[in-house]
Structure 1
Amino acid sequence: MFARPLQGASTATIERQPASSLNAPHQYTISDYGYGKDCVKVLHVKRNGPVHSIREFEVGTHLKLYSQKDYFKGDNSDIVATDSQKNTVYLLAKKHGIEDPERFALLLANHFLNKYSHVAEAHVHVEEYPWERITQEDDGDNYASISERQRHNHAFIFTPIAQRYCDVLVRRADPKVTVISGIKGLRVLKTTQSSFVNFVNDEFRSLPDQYDRLFSTVVDCCWEYSDINDVKFCQTWNKVKNIIIRNFAGDTNVGVSSVSVQNTLYLSEKEVLDVIPQISVISMTLPNKHYFNFDTKPFQSVVPGDNNEVFIPVDKPHGTIYAQLSRKDLKSHL
């Protein structure tokens, strides 16, 4: 899925239309269009003597041309084939290497605009596959910390805790380069210090006040940069992920109270904007993955007493909470 700019496109870009659309052969106008290659999988191995590093990406490239004659007239003379776009992914990876999703996406997007003067817009989406080096475990009872374990030179393990992705949008008519980074699939759960009380009480309500409940969600979060000149993308991505986890979980021993999913979401977004000035807007979606207490009251002869140990996971239906937080001085079209 290609993420669109969180801030909205510039007015100049929105108003600008290819000349061919003004001469459409009928009374209709193509209001949006484009084409590209999706799900291009690439693995890059960087060999530094005996120590190797890998990055595996899934890349999508979409182009928007000035002309619409391919639609109106079936004239393909301006089309950069999607197969050529696929080859470009591999050739630029070979020529320049792969550092991180954002820089590789910027490299591709700028290439398409610099190489083809009839391309009005390039949009590149990159998803990273989460590989980490295999670490040597202690054989005895005294386990070393992760930082002290020996990391393998050339063997890796897949660690799908969360997926990192980015979108880069470059328009020839707009000097601003849009860079969106994101996290998805980060599933978290805590067994206490979550409540939900004092909500609307009317004839449609059946849910009682929840003073201590299980809280689980799957984080989907993306943010847009106002300035990318000095951004360390890998460091920033990890910082945002850690902020989200810290606001959800709190201190390792005492935790942190969550009075609602909404409040936990807002506190995470606020801290991101507080500590990372290059981020201008952040959006989060938190579905409430429910775990309902199994009612043991009818089975007192089997298991007497209350139950606070056995829960029923219920994926559907689920509540969904979302919000986008922007800096007040942001000139946007939200």
Structure 2
Amino acid sequence: MAAMLSRPILLATLSLAPFGAIAQEPVSVVATVGMIGDIAQTLGGDCIAVETMMGPGIDPHLYQATARDVQTLNRAGLILYSGYGLEGQLGDVFARYAERVPTLAVSEAGIAREDLIATDDAYGVDPHLWMDVSLWARIVPVIAGQLSELAPNCATTIDANAETYGAELAALHDWTRQTIASIPQTQRILVTAHDAFAYYGRAYDIEVAGIQGISTQSEAAIADIRQTADLIVEREVPAIFVESTINPRTIQAVIEAANQAGQPVEIGGELFSDAMGDPDTAGGTYIGMIHSNTTAIAEALGGTPAPLPQALADWAAQWTIE
């Protein structure tokens, strides 16, 4: 943890935080995306109050801060964002907030650049790190350390929650790998609306093809649609997937093109890519996001979900998942 906290952004923010002054009441935490906010809430419990800027169905690549967001950020005791370009120009906004509010780019603090997937676009790296559970788990101690600094009276509880949650994520990673391995090798190809699943593919040994690139700032070109349809025909892909934050019309165009070429293909389900599901649903948790995606992928491509491990029993019971 000491190595993580030596990063310049953390030194700049931790020195500004009046830790003792806010430890007696819940810390107001603002997270950009649900995949961060859910972890913070899980670790902090009643010691923190989390607000997420970008809810279900919101694309972080295109997001622009609203007047309400500014008010929320101005009230924050801690700002958590991913970094590595996920939030686009909002990164500059957070850099300014870091001058007066504890502000943490959790991916940059917890995940080394050498573990990222390089890209040849404006991002330079793929920011969809939560798709590899073993990578995303590295932000847990980072967030736990920051919360413990801000709420020292809760530090013991936060540390215990972090240990439990870390074990759950380790079990989720193994379960995902086993489930994807059940898909026949010839059918193990994941076709989605945009290129958000590269880390998932690398971690769980499944080939990935996105119609669009990493960013969703521009529409897919006709050539992209035709190229994807050709791949589906060549590989006899039985199902492709829509995403909760992407307009499904490009997927429909690919399906039509593949069908015209004689390859029947259907929508295998809706995947969570850049945002989680609705609050108060299993898909509205990070664990549920990965579980839902993996189950849909396996079942549509000829695999069978593995039994859930004991470490996820409490999570499964909470959401009535067998």
Q: What TM-score do the two structures reach when normalised by structure 1?
A: 0.23
Which structure features the higher share of strand residues?
Answer: 1
Larger-Rg structure: 1
Q: What TM-score do the two structures reach when normalised by structure 2?
A: 0.24
Larger relative contact order, structure 1 or 2 (CA cutoff 8 Å, min sep 6): 2
Which structure features the higher share of helix residues?
Answer: 2
